[in-house]
C-alpha cells in the first residue's frame, strides 16, 4: 500500500495532538504552614538569628532544587482571612472573612461559587485536604466537604487544630477518636499544666497529628498515583496555643542549644519535625515515580507570631520586614514560597514575580487547561513555574484590607507600597520597597499624585460588607 506524506500543516497538528495526549497535567501538593515567618526559613538567608538556630534541611534542599519566590504574599495578615482568600480566590476587599471571627451569617457563608477543591476537580484533579481546613472561624463538616475535597482529614476550626496530640480528628465528616492520645500518655507534657509540662511526649508515644497527616498524604498519593491529584496540606506548624499547646515527640536536639527557653526548644522542634515530613512527602513522590509529574509548593499563611513561644530576642521571625502577623506592613503579609518541579523548574532559580495566595485557584485551573473565571481575583503563575516568564500575566497591583488592630489597607504597585490605618480618613503612607523594604521612610509628601492613585485603588477594591466596613457610612456609598 502506497503511503503519502502528510501535508506539513497536518503533520504539525498531529504532533501537537499527540503531545497533548501524552502530556500529563502536574500533580500539585500545596503545603501551607501556619505563622511561619520568613525570617525563620534558613533557605531564605535573611541573616536573622532564627536561621542560625532552626534546622530545616529538607526545605533547604527544596529551595536548592527548585525556585524561590522573593515577592510572595499571604492571602491576608492572619489565618482565617488568609485561608479564606486561598479557598475562595478572592482578595480581602471582596472576601467574606476579613478578620478572624468565630461564625458568619448563613447568608454570607458559604458562597455559591466553586471553592478551591471544586475548581481543582473541574480541572481534572482528584482532591484531598489535610489539617487546618476551615476557611474562617468554625466550619461544619458539610462546609469543609463543600470546599471540594474527595478526601479530607483535619479539624473544623482554628482552635481545635492547635493541639498536636488531640484525642480526636475529623475524617470525611466523621469525628474519629485517636485512642493513643490518652491522659496517661500526655500527662506532664502540656504547658498549661501546673507545674508546667515539658512539651515533650516522647518518640513512639501517642499520635503526633502532623505525622498522621503525612502518613495519610502518602496513602492518598499511592492510591491515586495513576491520575492527577491535588493535595492541600494546611499544616498547623508552628502555631501553638490552647487547647493542648505546643507538644512534640522529641526536642530534635534543641535542648542542647544554649540560651533557648523550654518554649523555644519545643517551637524549634515543631519546625524541624515538619521539615522531616516535607522530606517524607518528597521521598514518597520519588518512590512512586512521580517526581517529574509533581509540583510541590511550600509557603505560609501570614507573617510571624510571638505569643505562644513567649518571644525573646533569640528570634527575628520576619527578618528585615516591619511588624508581624495582624499587620499589613510587610512583616504581616510577606511570606516564604518555594516551588519544586523536577524537569520543569530549574534548580536554584529565583523569581521576583509578585504573587499572593489568591493566585492558587487560577493556577490550578490553568494546570488543568481550564480558564480563569470571573469569580477569581488572582492570576495564574503557571508560566513562571514552567520557566516561561515572557508568558506570565502581569498584574497592576495587589490590594489588602484587614480589620484587626485598626482598619488597615495596603496596595503594592510595582515597587511602591501604600499603607493606611483608620479607614477612609486615615493618612496614607508611601514606601519604595526597592530601596526601603523595612518601610521606614514615608515618601507620601514627595509623591502626591501616586498617593492619590493609591487612594483610588483602595476605594475601588473595597466592596462594602455588613460586617467589615471602613467607616459607618460605607454601606451608603
pLDDT category at 23 given cuts 50, 70, 90 is: low
Looking at the chain, the whole-number percentage of residues with pLDDT higher than 70 is 92
Q: What is the 3-state secondary structure (H, E, C) of the chain?
A: CCCCCCCHHHHHHHHHHHHHHHCCCCEEEEEEECCCCHHHCHHHCCCCCHHHCCCCHHHHHHHHCCEEECCEECCCCCHHHHHHHHHHCCCCCCCCCCCCCCCCCCCCCCCCCCCHHHHHHHCCCEEEEEEECCCCCCCCHHHHHCCCCCEEEEECCCCHHHCCCCCEEEECCEEEECCCCCHHHHCCCCCCCCCCCCCECCCCCCCCHHHHHHHHHHHHHHHCCCCCEEEEEECCCCCCCCCCCCCECCCCCHHHCCCCCHHHHHHHHHHHHHHHHHHHHHHHHHHCCCHHHEEEEEEECCCCCCHHHCCCCCCCCCCCCCCCCCCCCHHHHECCEEEECCCCCCCCEEECCCEEHHHHHHHHHHHCCCCCCCCCCCCCCHHHHCCCHHHCCCCCCEEEEECCCCCEEEEEECCEEEEEECHHHCCEEEEECCCCCCCCCCCHHHCHHHHHHHHHHHHHHCCCCCCCCCCCCHHHC
φ, ψ dihedrals at 297, nearest 5°: -120, 130
Q: What is the pLDDT, as a whole number, of residue 13?
A: 40
Query: How many residues are there in the chain?
Result: 477
Q: What is the pLDDT, as a whole number, of residue 50?
A: 84
pLDDT category at 257 given cuts 50, 70, 90 is: very high
Q: What is the pLDDT, as a whole number, of residue 9?
A: 44
Looking at the chain, the whole-number percentage of residues with pLDDT higher than 90 is 81
Residue pLDDT, tens place only, 3-14: 334 444 444 444
If we measure between CA atoms, which residue out of 121, 65, 68, 64 comes closest to residue 286? 65
Q: What is the pLDDT, as a whole number, of residue 158?
A: 87
Mention every residue, 6+ apart, whose C-beta is less than 8 A from residue 265: 199, 251, 254, 255, 257
Which of these ranges, 163-172, 190-199, 230-239, 335-344, has the smallest mean pLDDT?
Answer: 190-199
Q: What is the mean pLDDT of residues 422-434?
A: 97
Is the pLDDT confidence value at 181 over 50?
A: yes
Q: What is the mean pLDDT of residues 248-260?
A: 96
Q: What is the pLDDT, as a whole number, of residue 240?
A: 82
Q: What is the mean pLDDT of residues 67-92?
A: 97
Query: Whole-angstrom Cα distance, residue 166 to residue 387?
Result: 42
pLDDT category at 136 given cuts 50, 70, 90 is: confident
Mention every residue, 6+ apart, whose C-beta is less than 8 A from residue 301: 32, 33, 34, 35, 74, 75, 79, 82, 83, 86, 335, 357
Is the pLDDT confidence value at 401 over 90?
A: yes
Is the pLDDT confidence value at 288 over 60?
A: yes
Q: What is the mean pLDDT of residues 329-344?
A: 98
Cell triple for 204: 513512639
Query: Whole-angstrom Cα distance, residue 395 to residue 388?
Result: 16
Is the pLDDT confidence value at 261 over 60?
A: yes
Q: What is the pLDDT, as a whole number, of residue 1?
A: 38
Say which residue, 119 or 159, is predicted with more confidence.
119
Residue pLDDT, tens place only, 292-329: 999 999 999 999 987 677 766 788 889 999 999 999 99
Strands of the 27-33 sheet, one edge to the other: 174-177, 168-171, 151-155, 126-132, 229-234, 27-33, 294-300, 337-340, 67-69, 349-351
Query: Whole-angstrom Cα distance, residue 297 to residue 69?
Result: 11
Q: What is the mean pLDDT of residues 351-375?
A: 97
180, 207 Cβ separation under 8 angstroms: yes
Q: What is the mean pLDDT of residues 81-107?
A: 94
Query: Whole-angstrom Cα distance, residue 202 to residue 185?
Result: 9
Mean pLDDT of all residues belonging to the chain: 92
Q: What is the mean pLDDT of residues 367-374?
A: 96
Domains and CATH numbers, the chain: 25-391 (3.40.720.10), 406-476 (3.30.1120.10)
Q: What is the pLDDT, as a whole number, of residue 230?
A: 98
Q: What is the mean pLDDT of residues 197-226?
A: 97
Q: What is the pLDDT, as a whole number, of residue 19?
A: 38
Q: What is the mean pLDDT of residues 178-182?
A: 97
Query: Whole-angstrom Cα distance, residue 129 to residue 149?
Result: 6
Taking the CA of residue 388 as centre, how many other CA atoms within 13 Å lie in the half-sphere pointing to its CB? 9
Is the pLDDT confidence value at 398 over 70?
A: yes
Q: What is the mean pLDDT of residues 459-474?
A: 84
Q: What is the pLDDT, as a whole number, of residue 137?
A: 85
Amino acid at each position: 500500500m502506497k503511503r503519502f506524506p502528510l501535508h506539513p500543516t497536518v503533520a504539525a497538528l498531529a504532533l501537537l495532538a499527540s503531545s497533548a495526549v501524552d502530556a500529563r497535567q502536574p500533580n500539585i501538593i500545596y503545603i501551607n504552614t501556619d505563622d511561619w515567618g520568613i525570617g525563620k526559613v534558613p533557605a531564605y538567608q535573611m541573616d536573622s538569628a532564627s536561621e542560625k538556630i532552626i534546622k530545616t534541611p529538607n526545605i533547604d534542599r527544596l529551595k536548592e532544587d527548585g525556585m524561590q519566590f522573593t515577592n510572595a504574599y499571604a492571602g491576608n495578615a492572619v489565618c482565617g482571612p488568609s485561608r479564606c482568600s486561598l479557598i475562595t480566590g478572592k482578595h480581602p476587599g471582596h472576601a467574606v472573612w476579613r478578620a478572624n471571627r468565630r461564625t458568619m451569617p448563613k447568608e454570607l457563608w458559604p458562597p455559591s461559587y466553586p471553592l478551591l477543591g471544586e475548581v481543582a476537580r473541574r480541572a481534572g484533579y482528584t482532591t484531598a485536604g489535610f489539617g487546618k481546613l476551615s476557611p474562617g472561624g468554625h466550619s461544619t463538616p458539610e462546609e469543609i466537604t463543600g470546599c471540594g475535597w474527595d478526601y479530607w482529614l483535619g479539624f473544623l476550626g482554628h482552635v481545635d487544630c492547635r493541639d498536636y496530640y488531640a484525642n480526636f480528628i475529623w475524617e470525611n465528616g466523621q469525628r474519629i477518636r485517636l485512642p493513643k492520645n490518652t491522659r496517661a500518655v500526655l500527662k506532664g507534657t502540656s504547658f498549661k499544666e501546673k507545674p508546667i509540662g515539658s512539651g515533650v511526649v516522647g518518640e513512639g508515644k501517642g499520635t503526633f497529628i502532623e505525622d498522621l497527616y503525612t502518613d495519610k498524604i502518602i496513602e492518598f498519593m499511592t492510591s491515586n498515583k495513576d491520575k492527577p491529584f491535588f493535595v492541600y496540606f494546611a499544616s498547623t506548624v508552628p502555631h501553638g496555643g490552647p487547647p493542648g499547646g505546643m507538644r512534640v515527640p522529641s526536642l530534635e536536639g534543641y535542648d542542647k542549644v544554649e540560651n533557648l527557653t523550654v518554649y523555644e526548644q519545643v517551637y524549634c522542634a515543631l519546625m524541624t519535625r515538619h521539615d522531616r515530613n516535607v522530606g517524607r512527602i518528597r521521598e514518597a513522590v520519588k518512590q512512586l515515580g512521580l517526581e517529574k509529574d509533581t509540583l510541590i509548593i511550600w509557603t505560609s499563611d501570614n507573617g510571624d507570631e510571638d505569643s505562644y513561644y513567649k518571644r525573646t530576642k533569640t528570634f527575628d521571625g520576619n527578618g528585615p520586614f516591619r511588624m508581624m502577623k495582624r499587620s499589613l506592613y510587610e512583616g504581616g503579609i510577606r511570606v516564604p514560597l518555594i516551588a519544586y518541579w523536577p524537569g520543569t523548574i530549574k534548580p536554584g532559580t529565583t523569581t521576583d514575580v509578585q504573587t499572593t495566595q489568591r493566585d492558587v485557584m487560577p493556577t490550578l485551573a490553568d494546570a488543568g487547561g481550564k480558564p480563569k473565571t470571573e469569580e477569581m481575583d488572582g492570576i495564574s503563575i503557571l508560566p513562571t513555574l514552567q520557566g516561561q516568564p515572557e508568558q506570565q500575566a502581569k498584574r497592576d497591583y495587589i490590594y489588602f484590607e484587614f480589620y484587626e488592630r485598626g482598619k488597615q489597607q495596603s496596595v503594592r504597585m510595582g515597587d511602591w507600597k501604600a499603607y493606611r490605618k483608620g479607614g477612609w480618613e486615615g493618612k496614607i503612607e508611601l514606601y519604595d520597597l526597592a530601596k526601603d523594604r523595612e518601610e521606614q521612610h514615608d515618601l507620601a509628601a514627595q509623591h502626591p499624585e501616586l498617593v492619590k492613585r493609591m487612594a483610588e485603588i483602595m476605594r475601588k477594591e473595597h466592596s462594602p460588607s455588613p460586617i467589615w466596613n471602613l467607616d459607618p457610612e460605607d454601606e451608603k456609598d
